Structure 1
Amino acid sequence: MDEAVAVVDRVVTDRGELVLRQSGEHFEIVNNGVFLMDTRAGASERLLVREALNLVGPGARVLIGGLGVGFSLAEATASTAPAEIVVLEIEETLIGWHRHRLAAYSADALDDARVRIVNEDMVAWLRTTEEVFDAICLDIDNGPDWTVFQPNAELYDDKGTALLRERLADGGVLAVWSASAAPAYAARLETVIGPVETHLVEVPRGEPDVVYLARKHPSPGRPHPRGLRP
């Protein structure tokens, strides 16, 4: 028998209606009637961060694009590698849920001294910041080929990918989550960022989740930062 689904919170934001639902012991996030994510799995979101951190040295600065239900942030704070973790999340309501109902799924990471939450649109923030990161973990919307919000597509096009490259340290890693294979996007990463690894994560239904990792080529004559492996 299917478990009953109850609406825990419903908020109207600049991007429409954002709903937090509870089904049994799990939570679901729905936006404008479109299911976005839930707390049932998280393997691919954790792999997104874990594989990126495997390529950086101690003291790394890490940027996570999208707070979601917190799996990526929890994985980052479980590691000793990051010295600083910056999380970009456009929905203030979602950040608030992680201080209460969703805190267990982000492992109370909002209280970690290394974590800084930035409540802004990621594209707008990237255009104004001068901060540089050893690893950028991007989990915005459903990936490059299926964005619920059209403005998010800017993160995945040529200009957005070049913008992300500017915010990567030499030898840095861009890790990108996708709800399905996106070969054209993988080719763009190869061209704009550098060599690409692809990781598939099986899911109960549908196509596997996909994680792409692209390594930025160091500029000539410059060492890899903070022990980043070549």
Structure 2
Amino acid sequence: MPNPVTLDRREGPYGEVVLRRRAEHFEIIANGTFLMDTSDGRSERLLIDVAMGALPAERADGGPSVLIGGLGVGFSLAHAAADPRWSRIAVVEREEAIIDWHRGGPLAAISGRALADPRCVILHTDLVEYVRTSPDTYDALCLDIDNGPDWTVTEDNQGLYTAEGLAACAARLNPGGILAVWSARPSPDFEESLRNAGFSGVRTEEIPVARGVPDVVHLSVRPA
């Protein structure tokens, strides 16, 4: 593989965030930890698809709404915007640099069409704080802000996966709403935490990889 080329490096309130290009792909690095790249977006798209697939097919109040936690390289947002069934799409992103890279930066090729969609809005805030304090509710929460519940980018993010954090997620969901959490590896402990927090239908969807542990999406339902 060719050596990466650094395109931008920022110091923000949560530490350093870097955008790199390696051949034709882009990479996001936070505090020295690889977060994601544009080489394979299957698991990010699955995050959106499993949430939609778990919702009722017919609704009396129009299409469902979704909150995406983490803009990242934009695969989840672009995939959601390509589905006309979503009526409202909000993305929470705490890193101003990442938002800039999508708004006229190198990642605009992935997300530009989605950001021009009137259904879509970017919320520049911290996801953990947002789910604890916002009065907004959604039919689906699709969260991808860490490498998984057991491998967080910053210590503050650990609160999202606690009993208190999951209760806050449930409060942001409409009855029967879906919580989908991306992870770089399965987490049986997190599945148990979801059950203990009162979620039902807890299951894990896997994305097979050529080598190593598969990416997964942890899926659960807020009881109606």
- Per the normalisation by structure 1, the TM-score is 0.90
Tell me whether 1:198 sits opposite 2:197 in the alignment.
Answer: no
Query: 1:92-112 CA deviation, whole Å, 9 max, x = no partner?
Result: 110110122112223531111
The answer to whether residue 86 in structure 2 is matched with residue 87 in structure 1 is no
Q: CA deviation at 1:190?
A: 2.2
Residue by residue over 1:20-59, the C-alpha shift from the partner in whole angstroms, topping out at 9 and shown as x without a partner, is 1111110011112221111100111100101101233552
C-alpha separation in 1, matches of 2:44 and 2:6: 25
Aligned counterparts, 1:15-164, within 5 A? 15-56=14-55, 57=57, 58-99=62-103, 100-106=105-111, 108-164=113-169
Match of 1:208?
Answer: 214
For the Cα contact (< 8 Å) 2:64–2:88, is it kept in 1?
yes
1-side partners of 2:169 and 2:217: how far apart?
16
Consecutive unaligned residues in structure 1, runs of 5 or more: 219-230
Matched AA of 1:141? D
Please state if 1:10 is matched with 2:9: yes
Secondary structure class of the residue paired with 2:204 = strand
1:8 Cα shift?
0.6
CA RMSD after TM alignment:
1.3
Kept after mapping to 2: 8 A contact 1:39/1:105:
no
- Write the distance in 2 (CA, Å) between the matches of 1:208 and 1:170: 31
Residues 138-177 of structure 1: CA deviation (Å, up to 9, x unaligned): 1111110001201001111111011101111111110110
Distance, in Å, in 2 between the alignment partners of 1:31 and 1:21 is 11
Instruction: Number of aligned residue pairs: give it.
Output: 217
Aligned equivalents of 1:89, 1:142: Cα separation in 2: 15
**Per-residue Cα deviation, 1:58-84 (whole angstroms, up to 9, x for no partner):** 521110001111111111101111111
Asked if 2 retains the 8 angstrom alpha-carbon contact of 1:143 and 1:178, the reply is yes
Question: What is the one-letter code of the residue matched to 1:47?
Answer: L
Report if aligned partners of 2:132, 2:165 keep a CA contact under 8 Å in 1. no
